[in-house]
Amino acid sequence: MQAGQALAKNDKNQGVRDVIPARCITIRLPDPSWRTVVNQTPVKAMDPERIPELPVTRMNSTHHDEVALVNRIARCLGEAGAPCDELDSLLTEWVTHTEAHFGRENRWMQTYGFPAYPIHAGEHERVLGHLRDLCARWRDSGDTSELVRFVNEEWPRWFEQHLAGMDTVTAQFLAQAGGPDLE
Ligand SMILES: [Fe+2]
Ligand SMILES: [Fe+2]
């Protein structure tokens, strides 16, 4: 028997490999640690008492709803072993709520001709983009550290400043212009 014939006889998969080229298929199995939130840092979010009262009722109710929602996210992030499914749906709700919140203010500013519309709307766009990125990164990595930092520090600071600055000026303008509380 020739050497080549012996090799072909012993290699049972030779024919299959001739037809289907060898290829590496990576199947990403769910990491069990992703099924629950793993976080050692306490998460506190924001005290609703710090929300300023603006002269547009609908803006105030939106701001209170958002703080309540972010506080639920904070509780979920701070709770050892909270289900990731719960965090996932709360984050989806946060993005949807923020889209509606910012979209409504943008629409009112345009309708009533608010002069600083591009600055205020640009800030909305930047923060919404950042929130979407954070959620996407958590979904991709399962690492909550960026979200914890955002909910604990960056978002409450930004939200308070935004309400005290751009939202206050906008609400005063809208109220003088006849107000969007008609909607
Ligand atoms: Fe607002
Ligand atoms: Fe705003």
What's residue 78's pLDDT? 83
What's residue 76's pLDDT? 87
**Domain locations in the chain as residue ranges:** 36-176
How far is the centre of ligand 1, averaged over its atoms, from the C-alpha of 98 (Å)? 9
- pLDDT-based confidence at residue 33 (cuts at 50, 70, 90): low
How far is the centre of ligand 1, averaged over its atoms, from the C-alpha of 75 (Å)? 23
What's residue 6's pLDDT? 42
How far is the centre of ligand 1, averaged over its atoms, from the C-alpha of 137 (Å)? 25
162 alpha carbon, closest ligand? 2
What are the tokens at 140?
A: 């991709």
Give the global pTM: 0.78
How far is the centre of ligand 2, averaged over its atoms, from the C-alpha of 111 (Å)? 15
How far is the centre of ligand 1, averaged over its atoms, from the C-alpha of 17 (Å)? 62
What's residue 79's pLDDT? 74
How far is the centre of ligand 2, averaged over its atoms, from the C-alpha of 167 (Å)? 5
72/88 Cα distance (integer angstroms)? 12
How far is the centre of ligand 2, averaged over its atoms, from the C-alpha of 162 (Å)? 6
How far is the centre of ligand 1, averaged over its atoms, from the C-alpha of 145 (Å)? 26
Q: How long is the chain?
A: 183
36/79 Cα distance (integer angstroms)? 9
What's residue 91's pLDDT? 96
What's residue 35's pLDDT? 64
pLDDT in tens, 123-149: 999 999 999 999 999 999 888 899 999
Q: Which residue has the tokens 């012993």?
A: 10
CA angle 57, 155, 128 (to 5 degrees): 75
Q: Where are the alpha helices (DSSP H) in the chain?
A: 3-10, 14-19, 57-78, 84-112, 117-141, 145-149, 155-162, 168-176
169 alpha carbon, closest ligand? 2
Q: What percent of the chain clears pLDDT 90, i.e. is strictly above it? A: 58
39/1 Cα distance (integer angstroms)? 66
Sequence-distant (6+) residues with CB within 8 A of 43 are: 74, 75, 77, 78, 148, 151, 152
What are the tokens at 34?
A: 């992703």
Residue 126 main-chain phi, psi, to 5 deg: -65, -45
Residue 40 has pLDDT above 70, yes or no: no
What's residue 132's pLDDT? 98
Q: Among 6-15, 82-91, 135-144, which range has the highest average pLDDT?
A: 135-144
60 alpha carbon, closest ligand? 1
Q: What is the mean pLDDT of residues 90-117?
A: 97
Q: Among 31-40, 46-55, 59-68, which range has the highest average pLDDT?
A: 59-68
- pLDDT-based confidence at residue 80 (cuts at 50, 70, 90): low
Tell me if 134 sits within 8 A of 152, measured CB to CB.
no
Residue 152 has pLDDT above 50, yes or no: yes
What architecture is domain 36-176?
Answer: Up-down Bundle (1.20)
- pLDDT-based confidence at residue 111 (cuts at 50, 70, 90): very high
